[in-house]
């Protein structure tokens, strides 16, 4: 089974955002990944609801919003109304995670939980049957273009075992430093969804790079 490829717009040319999205529409990308940062939970600010609405008008792929923000529960309805299809919140930002996850699901949006590189995978044991996917951060959240943390492969394997143990249907999304060299290893470790930013938008031929990520990597 081919992985789901979710190019991250954080690495795109914001001055030509419509052109970049139309390129993704023509490609074999499955989702479009949106990194939402508030300058508090992470030391960076990206974009919010008005930009997502504009993206939705052009995008022909589902929108996958990764919320790196404090108190994300305040904005769930806004993200839903902006056209988001997949919505993930950070374990570290949600003191009432179960409530927040079900708040997302009650909006008929696919709900995910993201974990930072230092957060133990086993902390997800009590929520793994409630989420549709888990985002494993393979860099420290906040900025694009960071180097992949090798221990992330071990964490994906650990998460796959946790999912299998609980007979969960949760998918594994890996986010940060994904490239053509480590993609196969991540898929073999158990990842279902590859988020790639610089690897795609820094390529001379992004459509071909997406095709390589999509076609040449498969579970064995």
pLDDT, tens digit, 9 for 90 and up, residues 52-71: 999 999 999 999 999 999 99
What's the pLDDT score for residue 178? 95
Q: Which of 64, 132, 175, 192 is catalytic?
A: 175
Task: Decide: 5 and 30 in contact? Cβ < 8 Å.
Answer: yes
Tell me which H or E stretch contains 66: strand 63-68
* Cα distance between residue 158 and residue 94, in whole Å: 22
> 10 Å Cβ neighbour count for 220?
5
**Catalytic residue check, 175:** yes
- Which stretches in the chain have pLDDT values below 70? 142-145, 216-220
Place of tokens 């939705």: 56
What's the pLDDT score for residue 218? 45
What's the pLDDT score for residue 141? 77
The class level of CATH for 4-215 reads alpha beta
**Catalytic residue check, 35:** yes
Q: Which of 30, 35, 64, 85 is catalytic?
A: 35
What's the pLDDT score for residue 215? 77
* Cα distance between residue 1 and residue 214, in whole Å: 10
What's the pLDDT score for residue 61? 98
Q: What are the structure tokens assigned to 188, written together? A: 């073999």
């Amino acid at each position: 089974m081919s992985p789901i490829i979710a190019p991250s717009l954080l690495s795109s040319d914001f001055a030509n955002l419509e052109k970049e999205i139309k390129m993704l529409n023509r490609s074999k990308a499955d989702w479009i990944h949106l990194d939402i940062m508030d300058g508090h939970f992470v030391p960076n600010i990206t974009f919010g609801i008005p930009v997502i609405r504009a993206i939705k008008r052009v995008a022909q792929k589902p929108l996958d919003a990764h919320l790196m923000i404090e108190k994300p529960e305040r904005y769930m309805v806004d993200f839903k109304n902006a056209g988001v299809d997949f919505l993930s919140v950070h374990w570290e930002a949600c003191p009432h995670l179960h409530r927040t996850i079900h708040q997302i699901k009650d909006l008929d949006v696919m709900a995910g939980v993201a974990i930072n590189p230092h957060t133990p995978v086993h902390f997800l044991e009590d929520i793994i049957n409630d989420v549709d996917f888990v985002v494993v951060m393979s860099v420290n959240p906040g900025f694009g273009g960071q180097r992949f943390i090798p221990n992330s492969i071990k964490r994906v394997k650990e998460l796959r075992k946790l999912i299998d143990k609980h007979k969960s249907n949760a998918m594994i999304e890996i986010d940060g430093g994904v490239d053509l060299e480590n993609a196969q290893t991540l898929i073999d470790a158990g990842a279902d969804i590859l988020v790639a930013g610089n690897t795609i938008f820094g390529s001379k031929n992004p459509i071909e790079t997406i095709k390589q990520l999509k076609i040449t990597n498969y579970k064995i």
